[in-house]
Amino acid sequence: MTRPEGPLLLDTLHDGVLTLTLNRPDKLNALDQPLVDALHSALSYYEPLVDIVRAVVICGAGGRAFAAGADIATLRNRNSGEALLAINAQLFDRVARFPAPTIAAVTGYALGGGCELALACDLRVAGESAQFGQPETGLGIIPAAGATSRLPQLVGMGRARELIFTGRLVGADEAAAMGLVNAVVPDAEVLSAAVEMAIQIAKNDGLATRLTKQALQLVEGNLEHQRRFANLAQGLCFDSPSKVARMDAFLARKAARRNSAAHLAQRHDSGEG
């Protein structure tokens, strides 16, 4: 059984395993509003099908990234009022609450919101190229979509502080050593390894698995107050001139590179240089 595929999110369902593929590879699967909407739409379609969807794998198209974060061009133009809508946080909480267990299959970059999406999944399988990181403070904002709560739970408060404050990227082996990922496999095997794990989960009793997931979430505690604080803090950051300047700098670097690549191609075509 499959739902009609949209261009931004591909979905397949076999043997009780739903695979969702973020499909914006030219932008390293950065999460813009249409992709966020596509994920909501898929989740609302599949959430009630508890007897059919027994495990979920989320991956990114293109191999270079699981997701390189929230779309910076979109964030650049959001103000504090829009930040208070907690668009990504609500999406990732919905992923976390999905009735069946979820597995992030990560190759390449899982940064910012991309890392937070992986953290919202129950399990993570990484390819050797995987790189995890929370670079938000370098962009003048905070990781408000789950990293300040889910990362410490996975890797401990000391490591979470270091990763969030420095924004440094963590490779697959280091991520495994700190408990951030459950398994590391060659890139070419990431999806099949995640699906294999999902099939193993799907073979177990559906009701028992769903209730176990809920029991485990209760151990994680009620993070409502923490979330509200993170959301308010994000609202403050979104109106700061420094956030705008830092995001403009990223976008300008990328535009300059595109222009110089286009310029070089033009010179090459006209036989110059």
Kind of pairing between the strands at 183-185 and 123-127: parallel
Q: Is 135 in the site for ligand COA (CB under 6 A)?
A: yes
Q: How far apart are CA 235 and CA 220, in angstroms?
A: 25
Catalogue the active-site residues.
Answer: 116, 136
By CB under 6 A, is residue 112 in contact with ligand COA? Answer: yes
Q: Which of residues 6-45 bind ligand COA (CB under 6 A)?
A: 27-28, 30
Burial degree of 199 (CB within 10 A; 0-12, 13-18, 19+): middle
The DSSP call for residue 15 is: T
**For ligand COA, which stretch binds (CB under 6 A), given 39-47, 111-119, 212-220, 231-239?**
111-119
Q: Out of 73, 176, 178, 199, which residue is the one contacting ligand COA (CB under 6 A)?
A: 73
Pick from 258, 263, 267, 268 the residue near ligand COA by CB under 6 A.
258
* CB contact at 8 A, 78 and 31: no
- Per the structure block, which two tokens stand in for 233? 């803090």
Mask of contacts with ligand COA, 158-197, x by CB under 6 A? ----------------------------------------
Contact between 206 and ligand COA (CB under 6 A)? Answer: no
Burial class of residue 184 in the structure, from the number of CB atoms within 10 Å of its CB (0-12 exposed, 13-18 middle, 19+ buried) = buried
Q: State yes or no: residue 111 binds ligand COA (CB under 6 A).
A: yes
DSSP 139: G
Q: Are 99 and 50 contacting, i.e. CB atoms less than 8 angstroms apart?
A: yes
Nearer to ligand COA (CB atom), residue 203 or residue 253: 253
Binder among 11, 59, 61, 71 for ligand COA (CB under 6 A): 71
Span 225-254, contacts to ligand COA by CB under 6 A? 254
Distance CA 175, CA 48 (A): 33
Instruction: Report the interface residues with ligand COA, using CB under 6 A.
Output: 27-28, 30, 68-73, 109, 111-113, 135-136, 139, 254, 258
